[in-house]
Structure 1
Amino acid sequence: MAKKRKRRSAGRKKHERRRNTLLGSGTFALVLLAALWSQIWPYLLSIAVFGGVGGMVWWLRQTDQLVRSHDQRWRAEDAIRIGHRSLTEVDAMSWQEFERYVAALCRRDGCTDVEVSGRSGDLGADVIATLPDGRRLVIQCKHYAPHRYVPSGDMQKFVGTAWLHHKADVAVFAATCPFSKAALTLAVHHGVLAVHRDLLGQWNTGTPLQAMLPLNGTGQGDRAHRRRWKDTYRS
């Protein structure tokens, strides 16, 4: 018993000496800090500021990487979802759904700042976006029955607003049907990309919008082909 008490007493004394040493060191450090405070506070402030800035930069980088990762994953999932749609499913959409579908195709192709009007009176700007190269994109959408044609009057209205009113760098008229000959000629003459049903099918299955710009005015076939195609969708 006596030996155990001596061991406990020795351990207690050792613990008290360690505590007293730590308290003494802490007290000495505080006294030294108070004595030198006027000289060292600018350095401490600089360390705190740089540490805070560094922490903010790290947080911003982590947040940016997280957002980019989510955006890339969303775009990939959206591309798969869009690519699995058929034009028959597109035909079954409402005009509002078709505008959102066109906006989704733009996002898939790397466009940013994509906005959908979703209302009448938008003066032809149903979808507005920024192309990957920075150009302003303005799109008019027409969800017509496949056997119809986009008349020249619709194209005239869009030509009249796309460049002057909406300040478009690239103007696109996307439709679920062909364009009349007059409307297609007008589009080519004024530099509006006419995305008729055939081009819409290519866009839907993965061809980027930018790659279709040189195809403007092509792809609808001759008059006999368009007549057979029109009779097929009417039947």
Structure 2
Amino acid sequence: MSRRPPARRRPARRPRRPRQQQEHLVGLLLAAAAALWLMATVVHWLLAHWWILLAAAVIAVLGGIGWWQQRVQRAQWEHAQARALRYGLPQLDALSHRQFEYTVRDLMYRDGCTDAVQVGGQGDLGADVKATDPHGRRWVIQCKHRRHGEQGAAVGTPELQVLNGTGRPVHKADVVVMVTNGRITQPGRDFARQQRLHLVDRQLLASWAAGSRPLWELLPALPPPRKPSRLS
């Protein structure tokens, strides 16, 4: 019986990885060279056509001036519109609770609190409106809207206790205010006086919303300004 000839071993293939790395490196070098050539070409062209750069700069400056003028004019128009903001009690009574919060925010903005913001909602911790007046004092306001106005449920001590518990400790307010288009009970007024809370009831709200004086000129015993102001 004849033996089979031994199988011939195939020569091992040399790894192609070094060659692939070299090709990748060459590709990167070519790409970098092309990018440098393109940049040099663009710079050379721009230097040869410098007037295009000058024209683009002039157009950019004019565009920026126009944008700034429009922004200033819009701010002036919004300020003038806010200064003319007035509300009567029938208008306030017809609002929803959320609309009432936004109205109080707008009145604070009218008075000069440019950062006035409505924050009321679930988890607001007793704050419906926050603002900083021109004197630097931080205001935290809770709003209680009564659909039937003075005939609705009066704001009492429990609501004021919630506001007192969060106004200064949580929200770091200098001025803590309860605003309502309804009534406030006498025990609630006594509690507010003891805790240095400020109350805006229906009568004071009518004067504030329909007039032009800021709220800090209508409330007594406010804390001193935090910073010098032209209004102080």
Q: What code does the residue aligned with 1:102 have?
A: V
Structure 2 stretches of 5 or more lacking a match? 1-43, 223-232
Q: What code does the residue aligned with 1:62 have?
A: Q
Q: Structure with the greater relative contact order (CA < 8 A, sep ≥ 6): 1 or 2? A: 2
The 5 Å alignment of 1:26-175 reads: 58=65, 61-77=68-84, 79=85, 82-83=86-87, 85=88, 87-144=89-146, 145-147=149-151, 148-175=153-180
TM-score, with length taken from structure 1: 0.62
Whether the aligned pair in 2 keeps the contact of 1:193 and 1:213 (CA below 8 Å) is yes
Partners in 2 of 1:76 and 1:146 — Cα distance? 28
Which residue number in structure 2 is paired with residue 30 of structure 1? Answer: none
Which residue number in structure 1 is paired with residue 215 of structure 2? Answer: 209
RMSD, matched Cα = 2.9
Partners in 1 of 2:114 and 2:138 — Cα distance? 10
Whether the aligned pair in 1 keeps the contact of 2:79 and 2:110 (CA below 8 Å) is no
Q: Deviations over 1:19-57 (max 9, x none)?
A: xxxxxxxxxxxxxxx9xx9xxx9xx9xx99x97997687
Structure 1 stretches of 5 or more lacking a match? 1-33, 217-235
Which residue number in structure 2 is paired with residue 176 of structure 1? Answer: 181
Whether the aligned pair in 2 keeps the contact of 1:127 and 1:139 (CA below 8 Å) is yes
Q: Does 1:195 align with 2:200?
A: yes
Percent of aligned pairs with the same amino acid: 35
Q: Aligned in 2, Cα 1:125/1:118: closer, same or farther, shift over 3 Å?
A: closer
Deviation at 1:188, TM superposition (A): 1.8
Which residue number in structure 1 is paired with residue 26 of structure 2? Answer: none
TM-score, with length taken from structure 2: 0.62
Q: What code does the residue aligned with 1:202 have?
A: S
Whether the aligned pair in 2 keeps the contact of 1:106 and 1:114 (CA below 8 Å) is yes
Deviation at 1:164, TM superposition (A): 0.8
The structure where helix makes up a greater share of residues is 1
Deviation at 1:59, TM superposition (A): 5.2
Query: How many residue pairs get matched?
Result: 172
Q: Secondary structure at the match of 1:112?
A: coil
Partners in 2 of 1:58 and 1:188 — Cα distance? 52
Which residue number in structure 1 is paired with residue 190 of structure 2? Answer: 185
Q: Secondary structure at the match of 2:95?
A: coil
